[in-house]
Structure 1
Amino acid sequence: MSYTLTGNPFRRCKCRQNGRELGAKCPKLRRKNGSWNPSHGVWYGKEELPPGPDGKRSYLKLGGFASADEVTAYFQAIGRLLDIPDPGPDGHQARMEILAMIKAAHRKKAPMPEYEEVQRKFRAGQPLQAMTFGEYWVQWVARRRRLKDIRESTLLGYISHHDTHFGEVLDEVRLDRLFAPKVEEVFTRIDEKNAALLAARESDDPQARASVRGKRPTGSSTKQRIKATIRTVLADAERDHLVSFNAATLVKLDTGERPQALVWTKPRVEAFTAEFEQRLAAEQATKKKSQKPLERFRVWLATPRPSPVMVWTPAQLGAFLDHAVQDRLYALYHLVAFRGLRRGEACGARWVDGELEEGVLTVAKQLSNVGGRVEEGKPKSRASEAAVALDSGTLAVLRAHRRRQLAEKLAWGSSWKETGRIFTQEDGSELTPDWVSEHFWRLVFAAGLPPIRLHDLRHGAATLSLAAGTDMKYVSAMLRHSSIGITSDIYTAVLPDVARAAAEAAVRLVPRKIMLKEGSETGGPPSVPQPPLPPPAEAG
C-alpha cells in the first residue's frame, strides 16, 4: 500500500458568527474578484487514512500553512514516512507512532521527522520516537527498583551521581544523539566546579570560605565512578535498542588509581598537628561571639591528611585500644582492628553465625545506610561470605562483650529489642553504621591520636598480619578478597620498623671485609688507607 497524500488543501479562519466559527465559509477569505485574501485565514490539509485492524476510520488534519502548495508538499512528505512500516495490520502500530511524531512536531512548529532516521530506526528495531536521556533515566531507575537487581545503596549512589553531576548536562539530550563529546562535558563541568571550590577556599572573603566548608573537590576516583554510572545506564539503553553504541566507553579520564595506604610516622603526625593547630586558630579568630562554641573535633576531622588512607603504627593502635577498652563497643573495634571485618559486616554480625568454641565467625550479613535508614543485606561479594578465624584474645573480648550484652538485656527487660546482633545499641536495636564511624572518630580524637577512618583499621589488620610474617595468601583469605592482587595492591602498607628490618637483612646478605662506620664525612671508613696523592706538577 502506498500512501499518496495531497492534503486536499483548503483555507479557513477563526471568525465567528452567532457564536459559531465560520471556518471555510468566512466571506473575508476571498476578495471581491474571487481571489484569495492573503491577509485573512490560513491553509489546512485533511486526509482520510486507511482504517486500522479494528476497522475504525482515522483522519489527519493539520493547519497553519502559508499556501496550498505548502500543504501538498507537507502531506506528500507524511505519505512517504507512512510508507516505511510494513503494509497492512503488521505496520499499523508503527504508522501510529509516526503519526504521533508528526503531530507533535507540527504542534511545536518543529521540523518533521527525517525520513532516513525513521527508516534506520524501523529497520534496526529501535523505538521510532526519540527519548531524552532524562526520560530514560526515570524509567531506568524505576526498572532497577522493580527488578531489585542491584543493591539499594548502590542505586542511591547512582542517583547521587545523576543529581549532583551529570543530570544537568545530559537530561535534555536525545539518546540517539548522545555522543562522546557530550559525555565529556559532564567532566568539564566537574572541573569547573572544582576550580570554583578551590578558589573559594583561598578567598579573602569569609562568606566565600564558609560556603565551601566541609566540601571536597571531586577527585579522579569519583569521576571514574560517575563515568561507570553513565556507562551502565547507556549499556541498558543499547540493549533496549535506544542507542546504537555506548558513548561513555569512548570517554578517556585519568586512571583514578586507588590511594595507597600511608603509615602515621612521627614526621607526618607532627605536620598534621601543626596544620590542625593553624586551622583551629584561624577558625577561632573568625568565630563571632553570637555563634555556637567552636568544636575542636570538627576542625580536627576536616584537617587534610597525607593520604585518604592512613594506617596506625602498632604503638598507636595499642594506645587507641587501651583508651577505648571501657567503651561498650570496644569489642567491635577490636574485631575490625585484628580480623579486618568491614564496618557493615561488623554491624551485621549475629551470634548465630559465631562458633566461639571453635574460634570462628562466619560473615553472612551486613548492615548499610540506605537513604536515612538501615538495611540488612548480603556481604559485598561472594568471596566475602566466608568464615573468619578468631584468635584467643579476640575470643576473650567477644565473651566479655556477650556478658555485658546479657546484663543490658536483663536491665531493659521487656523493652529489649531482640535482633540477634553481636553489636547493638543499649536496648538491643541495630546499630547505624554511620554512627559507629562517628563514635570511632570521637574515641580517636579523645585518645589524642591522628585520624584514620574506621575502614582503615581493615587496612591496618592486613599490614599487621604481614608484619607478623603471615603469608599474603592467608592475609587475603582473612580479608575475604577474590584475589591476592587486591590485597597486595590496596590493603597493605609497610610499617617503618618492618621496612628498616628488611633493609638491614638485605645488607647482611652481602659479605664485606671492610665495614662502613657511621659518622664518616666521606661516606667511606676512616680505617681504610687512602691512595697517595699524585706529585705536584713541576713549574715550566
Structure 2
Amino acid sequence: MASRGVIFKSCTCDIDGRPGRRRNRTCSRLTERGHGSWQFDCRVRDIRGRSTQVRRSGFPSQAAATRARDGVLDQSLERFTGQRWTVERWLRYWLTTRTSIRPTTLRVYTQHVEQYLIPHLGKLRLADVTVRHLTAMFTELAKQTTRTGEPLAPATLHRICATLRGALNAAIRNDLITDNPARRIELPGRPRPHAVVWTPERVQQWRQHGTRDKVAVWTAEHLATFLDRVAADRLYALWWLIALRGLRRGEAAGLRWCDVDLQHGTAIIVQQITCTGRRTYVGPPKSTASRRVIALDRHTVQALRDHANRQRLERTAAGRHWHDTGYVFTRPDGRPLHPDYLTYRFHRLCQTAELPPVRLHDLRHGAASLAHQAGTDLKTIQDQLGHASIVLTADTYTSVLPDSQRRAAAATAELVLTAARAVRKQIKKRRNEYGDHGARSATLGAPERPANRETAGHGASPRPARPKKRKSGNSTQRATIVHIGRTGHAKPQVNERAARDSNPEPTD
C-alpha cells in the first residue's frame, strides 16, 4: 500500500562502466535471480509529529524487506525516535522543554550541551549511547583546560555528567530509551570545599608568597577592620547584613523594604536577583528552605535605619529621575543593583582595606563561623542560612575559629588532668590502707583484694585445702582429704585408695 511505503529491487551496477553512477532500479538484469537486493522506503512520524523518511536496503528477498518495513511501521513513535534521533538533536529538543527552571540554570545546561556534550556525543544515535562512549568522553574532557590554562575541575565534570544524566532521564520518561548509562559513570571525587580561617601564619604566607586557599574566612578582628574601613560607603548596611546574617548576594540585592520590619527586628527572604551576563532576573530564592525569616539585632536595625535616611536623600537629589522600585539596596537613581557589581565592589573594598582576600560569598561562611563561635547551635545556624540539610551547614559553612579551637583544647586537657588527679588521689588512699600492693592495684585498675579469705564476705567460696604428701619408707601416701562445707567446719574424708594401700586385705 502507498501509505506503508514501497518495496523494490535495485542494484549497484555502473552505467557504461563509469564508477560513481549507479543504475539502481533501471538495471536490465534485475529480473535475474541473485542480482541486486531488495529495499524499502517509507515515512514515519517522530514524537514531534514530523515525518521522517526511512530507507533500508540489502535484503535478500522481498519477504525479508517487507518484514523489516512492517517492523519499522509497527513500532511506537517513541521507540522510533530513540533509534533515529541523534544525541545532538535530542539534547537541543530537551533544552526547549526546560521551561520551569531558572534562567541561570538553563544557561549552564546550554553551555554544557554546546561546549562539551554535542562535540563528543552529538553524532551518536540516542539508543546507541553506552557507558564506553561516556567514559571516553570524560577521559578527553579531563585533558582539556580552561581559559586560564587549568584542567577542568572534578566538580565541573560532575556538573556536566549531571546535565547529561538529566537529559537521558527525560528520554527514559518519554519511552525513547530504557537505560541511562550516565548513572554508571565513575568520575574522580570532588571534595567539598571547606573554609579555612585567615590565621596570622596564613596571612604571613600570603603576603610573602601570594598563596591562599580557595575558600577562606576572616576572623572577627578582620571583619571589624573591614566594617570600620567601609563605614562611609553607601552600601555599608549591605556589607553588614551579609557578613553578620549570611545572606547570599542575590538575596541582599533582591531585598525590599516591604520585607523588612525594623520595629520587630525581622526580615523575610522571599526573592532574589540573579544574572546571566548583563541581564538580571527576579525570582524565588535558591530552594524552598531559603525562604526564611531572619532576626535583626539592634545594631543591624540601626544600620538599616541609617541606610533608609541616606536613600531618602538620594531620592530627593535624583528628583524625577528616581526609580521607585522599593528595593532596600539600589543604585543612586533607585534601580536595583546588579549582583556582579556587588562582587566587583567588594573586591575593590578589600584591596583598599589591605585585608587578606576573601570572596563575597565567603562572608556567608564567616557569618556561620562567627555565629557558631558565639555559641549558636547548628540548627539555628541552618535556619539562618536557609539550608535544607544540617550536614551542609556543619561540613561546609561552619569553620572553627582559632579562639574556639583553643577553648576546646583547654577543655579537653582539663578533662584529662582532672581524671589524673582523681587517680593519684585513689592511689595515695590505697597505699595508706594496704601498702604497695594496694597502690599497684589502684594503678592497674584491679579490684581490691581482701586481706583475709575467711572474711571475704557472704557467698565467697575459698578453694579447698591441697592434700599434703607424706613419705612412708619408699612409698608416698596421700593424707586425708579435707572438705570444708558451707558451714565452714572441716569434714575429714578418707581416701579409699590410700586406705587400701596402707591396710591391705589378707590374701588366701
The two structures have a TM-score, normalised by structure 1, of 0.69
- Deviation string for 1:420-443 (max 9, x for gaps)? 100011111110101100100110
Pick the aligned partner of 2:75 from 116, 122, 125.
122
Q: Tell me the SS of whatever aligns to 2:139.
A: helix
Q: How do 1:142-181 and structure 2 match up within 5 A? A: 142-144=96-98, 148-181=99-132
Whole-angstrom CA distance in 1 between matches of 2:167 and 2:29:
44
TM-fit CA distance, 1:265? 1.0
- Deviation string for 1:199-234 (max 9, x for gaps)? xxxxxxxxxxxxx5x454321112111110110111
Give the number of the structure whose alpha-carbon radius of gyration is greater.
2
TM-fit CA distance, 1:275? 2.3
Whole-angstrom CA distance in 1 between matches of 2:137 and 2:377:
44
Does the CA-based 8 Å contact 1:6-1:71 persist in structure 2? no
2:212 is the counterpart of 1:305:
yes
Aligned to 2:55: 102
Whole-angstrom CA distance in 2 between matches of 1:462 and 1:438:
23
One-letter code of the match for 1:223?
L
Whole-angstrom CA distance in 2 between matches of 1:377 and 1:254:
34
Whole-angstrom CA distance in 1 between matches of 2:70 and 2:208:
64
Pick the aligned partner of 2:404 from 488, 498, 501.
498
Aligned to 1:466: 372
TM-fit CA distance, 1:466? 0.6
Q: Tell me the SS of whatever aligns to 1:102.
A: strand
TM-fit CA distance, 1:69? 5.3
Aligned to 1:322: 228
Does the CA-based 8 Å contact 2:44-2:73 persist in structure 1? no
Aligned to 1:235: 169
Does the CA-based 8 Å contact 1:346-1:423 persist in structure 2? yes
TM-fit CA distance, 1:93? 6.1
2:283 is the counterpart of 1:332:
no
Whole-angstrom CA distance in 1 between matches of 2:379 and 2:268:
19
Using the TM superposition, name which of 478-487 and 437-446 deviates more.
478-487
Aligned length: 410
Q: Tell me the SS of whatever aligns to 2:84.
A: coil
Pick the aligned partner of 1:347 from 242, 253, 256.
253
Whole-angstrom CA distance in 1 between matches of 2:180 and 2:291:
34
Whole-angstrom CA distance in 1 between matches of 2:12 and 2:77:
40
Whole-angstrom CA distance in 2 between matches of 1:117 and 1:344:
57
- Greater strand fraction, Structure 1 or Structure 2: 2
Q: How do 1:423-434 and structure 2 match up within 5 A? A: 423-434=329-340
Does the CA-based 8 Å contact 1:362-1:386 persist in structure 2? yes
The two structures have a TM-score, normalised by structure 2, of 0.73
One-letter code of the match for 2:89?
E
Pick the aligned partner of 1:139 from 89, 93, 106.
93
Whole-angstrom CA distance in 1 between matches of 2:386 and 2:127:
43
Aligned to 1:219: 153
Whole-angstrom CA distance in 1 between matches of 2:108 and 2:167:
13
One-letter code of the match for 1:326?
A
Aligned to 2:348: 442
- Deviation string for 1:138-164 (max 9, x for gaps)? 2111222xxx21111101011122233
TM-fit CA distance, 1:483? 2.2
Whole-angstrom CA distance in 1 between matches of 2:136 and 2:157:
12
- Deviation string for 1:431-465 (max 9, x for gaps)? 01011001001101111111111111111111001
Aligned to 1:247: 181
Give runs of ≥4 in structure 1 deviating > 4 Å. Answer: 1-6, 8-13, 37-42, 63-73, 91-94, 96-99, 103-106, 112-121
Whole-angstrom CA distance in 1 between matches of 2:354 and 2:28:
80
TM-fit CA distance, 1:184? 1.9
One-letter code of the match for 1:74?
S
Aligned to 1:7: 8
Q: How do 1:80-95 and structure 2 match up within 5 A? A: none
* Structure 1 alignment gaps of length 5 or more: 14-28, 30-36, 46-62, 83-90, 107-111, 198-211, 277-303, 515-540
1:513 to 1:330, Cα distance in 2 relative to 1, 3 A: same
Q: Tell me the SS of whatever aligns to 2:280.
A: strand
Aligned to 1:409: 315
Pick the aligned partner of 1:272 from 206, 216, 224.
206
TM-fit CA distance, 1:389? 0.5
Give RMSD over aligned pairs: 3.6
Does the CA-based 8 Å contact 1:169-1:186 persist in structure 2? yes
Aligned to 1:188: 139
Q: Tell me the SS of whatever aligns to 1:509.
A: helix
Whole-angstrom CA distance in 2 between matches of 1:266 and 1:177:
57
* Structure 2 alignment gaps of length 5 or more: 60-64, 423-508
Whole-angstrom CA distance in 1 between matches of 2:340 and 2:133:
36
1:10 to 1:363, Cα distance in 2 relative to 1, 3 A: closer
Aligned to 1:86: none
Whole-angstrom CA distance in 2 between matches of 1:126 and 1:498:
61
Does the CA-based 8 Å contact 2:86-2:122 persist in structure 1? yes
Does the CA-based 8 Å contact 2:40-2:66 persist in structure 1? no
1:92 to 1:428, Cα distance in 2 relative to 1, 3 A: closer
- Deviation string for 1:447-491 (max 9, x for gaps)? 111111111111111100110011111111111211222211111
Q: Tell me the SS of whatever aligns to 2:75.
A: helix
Aligned to 1:380: 286
Q: Tell me the SS of whatever aligns to 2:274.
A: strand
TM-fit CA distance, 1:178? 1.0
One-letter code of the match for 2:121?
L
